[in-house]
Structure 1
């Protein structure tokens, strides 16, 4: 038997031998003791969002969508349907256009306008503002992670999720403070509420961003490579929390990764990138149980 452990650099073997020896080793005990435990508070918070929903409701529909930058084609003839029953993983190599696809959806990229991009059965660009689009999405990404510089406390970062801002510049109400504190507590971060974001660990920062993404109860939670750079404990914890969100909240998961085995268990649809003969990348939509 080989005992493997995953860290920021990948999988590595820490012990090898017969089963009884490995399970009795100090390495095994250390790994088991470090296994992530989801805070109990999370289970009492999420049912507030739950309720009946139409599994056939269309959340995202793309028809023959293309994206280019100058002479470089990034996406070609992308067709995709995500409904309320779907929790989706987007797979593909670095540079294939995964982040471009996300930006077409959540309002960050103007190339999504004038194309057949439907959000919640409404054609994108048919009168809504970018802020009306953003209210449906919570986002966790490395890009967002790096935007928060010195000066913001953990509570400020989480509250800023109500305003889709990097930092807190708007007047904050009591209900927003209470909502932010509920998520901070739900993720076991209450002792860090007054700490500065840049002073806590990388894994704790990622949990803070997850709380920020969820405070406004988004319809879709976008996670762009959320486990990159995490230690094993925080990787396990975030994946476990995502499964609980998928089960209990009216929030669908849209999870981007270039590591196929690194995804929450709730995933039931795969959007896989592949090269298109005309240039750029296209996607293939698969059911998880068919792969």
Structure 2
């Protein structure tokens, strides 16, 4: 029997430095859905990513269960092949004078440096992939010369080149100007046409576009809302999530929140 879920958590609790960062997590994510996880800073979003990537482990209890790709014990090498994560710390690992083409190619080798003995098939694979993502114009640019938005999409392309089952995007538009934000949001929307499913983690409601089948709201390590966009995104849930009175609107497939008077 084929399991429909790549992630299954039942009554999961996790601690970091003595603090419970994941509280009674019950969550299933299927192979067929793009999911966006939204919550304020300190809500446990990064801890959930660490749990998925096996960087932190749950407390073992009789009633708890954690499965990734239907395995309670999964080989870390298999996990790295099947899940790619892009976060803002990766930028610091990149040689500023590495060209974008070589950066993306390095993803095939699981490294962040220039690959000396690349095969001809890998060369064509990267060329074809950059054409598909419509970023061929970045090919020969040095990483340090890119805009913040271009850096982000180059890292996303590097993560996707090995065709993972799941792409985790950790705050993909954090610290970007409006032009770069729109650039990244548009590119991520285009990525939904690929076979890789997206788990996007953000505090910014403007990231939520039509490609996401499901919205999960996380606060203080607990899920407080979970479901379709039009069901979950409302004034009451956002007040509960952020602790402020807001009004929420949707226009041309994009959500916006405005703060109401104090």
- Give TM-score scaled by structure 2 length: 0.78
Unaligned residue ranges in structure 2 (runs of 5+) = 233-262
Aligned to 1:255: 200
The one of 165, 183, 189 equivalent to 1:219 is: 165
Q: CA deviation at 1:240?
A: 2.4
Aligned to 1:117: 66
Q: 1:287 aligned to 2:231?
A: no
Aligned to 1:62: 9
Whether contact under 8 Å (2:36, 2:214) holds in the other structure is: yes
Q: How many residues align?
A: 227
Q: 1:200, 1:261 → 2: CA distance?
A: 23
> Tell me, what secondary structure is at the counterpart of 1:135?
helix
Q: 2:134, 2:75 → 1: CA distance?
A: 35
Q: CA deviation at 1:94?
A: 0.7
Whether contact under 8 Å (2:153, 2:187) holds in the other structure is: no
- Given the superposition, is the C-alpha separation of residues 179 and 274 from structure 1 closer, same or farther in structure 2, using an over 3 Å criterion? same
Q: 1:110, 1:229 → 2: CA distance?
A: 26
Q: CA deviation at 1:150?
A: 2.5
Q: 1:183, 1:130 → 2: CA distance?
A: 26
Q: 2:191, 2:14 → 1: CA distance?
A: 32
Q: Which moved more, 1:223-232 or 1:169-178?
A: 169-178
Q: 1:186, 1:271 → 2: CA distance?
A: 30
Cα RMSD between the aligned structures? 2.3
> Tell me, what secondary structure is at the counterpart of 2:206?
coil
Whether contact under 8 Å (1:63, 1:79) holds in the other structure is: yes
- Give TM-score scaled by structure 1 length: 0.71
Q: 1:113, 1:183 → 2: CA distance?
A: 41
The one of 86, 91, 104 equivalent to 2:51 is: 104
Q: 2:83, 2:183 → 1: CA distance?
A: 22
The one of 144, 147, 157 equivalent to 1:198 is: 144
Whether contact under 8 Å (2:12, 2:22) holds in the other structure is: yes
Q: 1:189, 1:261 → 2: CA distance?
A: 23
Q: Greater Rg, structure 1 or structure 2?
A: 1
Q: CA deviation at 1:178?
A: 1.7
- Given the superposition, is the C-alpha separation of residues 170 and 81 from structure 1 closer, same or farther in structure 2, using an over 3 Å criterion? farther
Q: CA deviation at 1:198?
A: 1.3
